[in-house]
Each structure stands twice: as structure tokens, then as C-alpha cells.
Amino acid sequence: MKASILHLLLCLTLVGCNTKNEQSLETVSESASKSIIDLSHSYSDKTVYWVTAKEFKLDTVFKGQTEKGYYYAANNFSTAEHGGTHIDAPIHFAKNAQTVDEIPLEKLIGNAIKIDITQKSSNNPDYLVNIEDFTNWEKTHGHTIPDKSIVLIETGFSKYYPDKVKYLGTDERGDHAVKLLHFPGLSPEAATWLVENRNINAIGIDTPSIDYGQSEYFQSHVILLKQNIPAFENLTNLDKLPSNEFEIIALPMKIEGGSGAPLRIVALVSE
Ligand SMILES: [Zn+2]
């Protein structure tokens, strides 16, 4: 499946895949029936950051007609690693674990599944995804979560983004605001179950953190990142995904030594 994603990428950027051999033709027709869904929020002054993190800033360097007659636009930007749609590299909560540039691409590109807990979290911003939420998925699909899956959790909270009061639980900022955070996340028990019983490549959620807002010790982060399972946070458009059999391409900014980075993540879904 990995090969087919790479082929699709090539076909998206190159004209001429429909030549030479039959295999290419088949893959082109296969990829032609796939839609690409953007799971990233854009970066702007509205981007949601952790309440203690430095927010996104865009400064115009130049915008307009130059003296030489051509148009020119360029900006500088600055951002914390952890804000908006981003990745947590294993080193974020695990000493000597992989930094963002060291995460193997094989973990970031591949087959994915989705766990839908929108019903359960709709009236409970402190909902914790439990083991049963995963075993229910397995019962419905008649098999365990496939090896090397990227597992996405849909809470429905991205519909509140970027309204901080609804999405984070508060629009206050600073150390005192951490206690005011309310949004769903993954229970440490379920994180432990995943790393001990299943073999997943990465995990993602449509809230600001894989641990829920009221977490004090960020145990799910520690459990997953220790096993070099990166986490994608502040995802969107998960409602447009099926629960099984789609592919993810998640490419973070390659910050050397980074504990995380802005993430462009897309899903390929058969139509
Ligand atoms: Zn993060």
C-alpha cells in the first residue's frame, strides 16, 4: 500500500504516468478514484496554541511592486512547535527518543483507521477514550486494528475550532489557564492497551492534545511517545473520513532536533 501512495504522489505531480506498463495504468485508475482530504488547520493569528505557548506570528517583509517592475511578496513567521495542526515527536515526552526529523517516514505515511467517539464526547468535554472504544471498532470490523495502522480519534471538537472557549475550555492564557482546559483525550489505560496489545505506527486526534484537557501528568503522551509512536494534534475534517481503509500522508516541517512541528496531513479516501 505504501508503494501505491508513493505512486499516487508521483502521478499527482508528473504527467505521463499513464504510459509504459499496465501496472501504472491500473494504479492511475485506482488513484483517480481517490479523493484527498485536508486534515490540517491553516496557520494564522487565530490558530489555537497551548495556553502557555508562543502563538503564530506573520510579519510582512515586502509586498508589492518593486522598483525593478516585478511583483514581490515575502514574510517571516514565528511559531511554537506545538500549536495548530502539529506533530508531537517522541522526544516531546521521552528522553533520548526520536526528534521530529528522525521519525521514519514509514510511520507517517500509510494505512489508517478512525475511531468515532463524537456521540460520547458531545455532552462531555472531559471524555476519555477507553479500551472499549477500540474493541468496539474491532467488533464492528471483524478484525483487530491492523498492524502499522495510523489511528485517528474523532471527537467532533474540531467543529469548535478556533473558538477557544468551546475548543479548549478557556480563552485565558498563561500557567493558571492549564487548569481550565476541557476537551476529550485518550485514557492512559487505553494508551497502555494500544502499546501492549496492538502495533500502531502513529496516533492522531481532533483536539489540542492526546491527553484530555484535565490531565495533570500527560500519561498517554508518555506511554505512546516512549514507544516512538508520534501523535498528531488539532486535526480537522475527520468527519469526512470512513472508519477503515484509507491512507494518511503526514509530513511535518523537518526541524532538526525538534520536539514537534507544524504538520500538513492529508487523507486519501476511495470514492
Ligand atoms: Zn504537541
| 271: confidence class by pLDDT, cuts 50, 70, 90 | confident
* For the chain, percent of residues with pLDDT exceeding 70: 88
Report d(CA 109, CA 202) in Å as an integer: 10
End-to-end CA distance of the chain: 17
Q: How high is the pLDDT of residue 30?
A: 56
Q: How high is the pLDDT of residue 14?
A: 44
Question: Residues 6 or more apart from 155 whose CB is under 8 A from it?
Answer: 117, 118, 121, 127, 183, 184, 205, 206, 207
**pTM across the whole model:** 0.89
Average pLDDT of the residues in 44-71: 97
Q: Which amino acid is at 80?
A: A
- Cβ(194)–Cβ(134) under 8 Å? yes
Dist. CA 94 → ligand 1 center (Å): 13
User: What residues have a C-beta under 5 A from ligand 1, the ion?
Assistant: 82, 88, 260
| pLDDT for residue 242 is more than 60 | yes
- Cβ(209)–Cβ(233) under 8 Å? yes
| pLDDT for residue 27 is more than 80 | no
Dist. CA 160 → ligand 1 center (Å): 19
Q: Is the dihedral of CA 131, 234, 98, 9 positive or negative?
A: positive
Dist. CA 24 → ligand 1 center (Å): 39
| pLDDT for residue 83 is more than 80 | yes
Dist. CA 87 → ligand 1 center (Å): 6
Dist. CA 33 → ligand 1 center (Å): 33
Dist. CA 233 → ligand 1 center (Å): 6
Q: Residue 158 has what DSSP assignment? A: G
Residue 214 grid cell: 484535565
- Cβ(221)–Cβ(92) under 8 Å? yes
Three-class SS state of 185? strand
**pLDDT digit string, tens, across residues 132-189:** 999 999 999 999 999 999 999 999 999 999 999 999 999 999 999 999 999 999 999 9
Q: Is the dihedral of CA 240, 243, 249, 251 positive or negative?
A: positive
Q: How high is the pLDDT of residue 22?
A: 45
Average pLDDT of the residues in 215-231: 97
Report d(CA 34, CA 207) in Å as an integer: 26
Q: How high is the pLDDT of residue 23?
A: 45
Q: Residue 20 has what DSSP assignment? A: S
Report d(CA 165, CA 171) in Å as an integer: 5
Q: Measuring CA to CA, which residue among 147, 145, 106 is closest to residue 3?
A: 106
Dist. CA 25 → ligand 1 center (Å): 40
H or E element at residue 2:
helix 2-13
